[in-house]
Amino acid sequence: MHLETLHLLSFKNYLDENLRFSPRINVLVGKNGSGKTNLLDAIYYLGFTKSAFSSSDQQCITQGNSYFFIKGVFKNDSTTKEVTSTVQLGAKKIFREDSLEYQKLSEHIGKYPIVLIAPDDVYLVNEGSEGRRRFFDGIISQLDKIYLENLIQYNQALKLRNGLLKLYAERGSAVDWIAFESYDKLLSTLGDSIFKRRSAFIIEFSPVFQKYYHFLVENSESAEVQYNSELKGKTFSAGLMDVRPRDVALQRTNFGIHKDDYDFILGNEALKRYGSQGQQKSFVIAMKLAQFEILDLHKGFKPILLLDDIFDKLDDFRIARLLELIKSEFGQLFITDARPERTRGLLNHINVPSTVFNIDQGKVTLYEQQEK
């Protein structure tokens, strides 16, 4: 699968751009702040119905405008599909495939798999459990529609249950746990299913991740991702019962799969505490490469890979290892770099043709196209 063309209207710093891409390697060069990452974000948006870098759709609208529009044409073998998104202030987001509007955005997830590797990905190591859950949920949701629907319903039920806890606190009245029975039953059913799917997925994910980690660092140190859930020790219903006093005190639900985490282990120690910056970067890139391979395996075609300014963040050895994969393993690839001569030299070294675009304040021009 590859993105053939992209049309942007009022998306971030792009007022009106029509672009045609190479099915293999596309390099986006330009000064910092010129819009390279914004262009990657537009591609990401077409796959996930949301931005990778902005917390709301409104932040994606060009300043002073009231809407944005994105259109991408994807090609997979002989099949061509047009995906469009329109966001208007004060109106419902419209997302379409071949002019047919989705009634639920979740129906689109997984159709156009995209893997993004960005400098800030190290947050997966250093920040809280929410980001780690979101990473793995994002992969599983692209593979399993039932999992995605269960996750959406679980989060809705959790929000309602937490709202009820706050309502009792505001009233200052004793909690009537009978009023929670329907929420607790739904959370238990959905939570058990999500827990089982996460447990099964980590078994599939771990050896693929370990393969890439060892490839990137070329040494024998062990690296592992462990799925950590309270459901390993007790049933969901029993767990909810045990934390009722805390639920009342904190006005939120304190047991469930929304408390799960993933432990990153290097050797026998926590990566966050004992891993060097290089080890942490390698660990995260290996996870993203494992994500790529698993999506490729399940979908039967390669995802689009977005590499945002990562050559600045890697040492020469890791760059060389990653270039080996670029030459042999990936399909369509987008690379951003503030130094065109560096990327061109790296790609020439592995004898891989590329199309280079120059970006200057939201304007895109063809810089160089190599045919080999």
pLDDT at 17 exceeding the cut of 80: yes
Contact 351, 29 (CB under 8 A): no
Residues near 112 by Cβ (< 8 Å), separated by ≥ 6?
A: 1, 46, 47, 74, 83, 304
Q: Is the pTM of this model over 0.85?
A: yes
Mean predicted lDDT score pLDDT of the chain: 93
β-pair partners for 108: none
Dihedral angle, C-alpha 236, 207, 310, 335, nearest 10 °: -100
Give the span between the Cα atoms of 307 and 112, in whole angstroms.
Answer: 17
Phi, psi of 263 (to 5 degrees): -95, 130
Name all domains of the chain by residue range, CATH numbers in brackets.
1-113+303-372 (3.40.50.300), 119-302 (1.20.1050.90)
Tens digits of residue pLDDT in 101-110: 999 999 999 9
Question: Can you give the pLDDT at residue 371?
Answer: 55
What sign has the CA pseudo-torsion 45, 66, 7, 334?
Answer: negative
- What does the pLDDT look like over 170-220, one tens digit per residue? 999 999 999 999 999 999 999 999 999 999 999 999 999 999 999 998 876
Q: Which two tokens stand for residue 126?
A: 């250093």
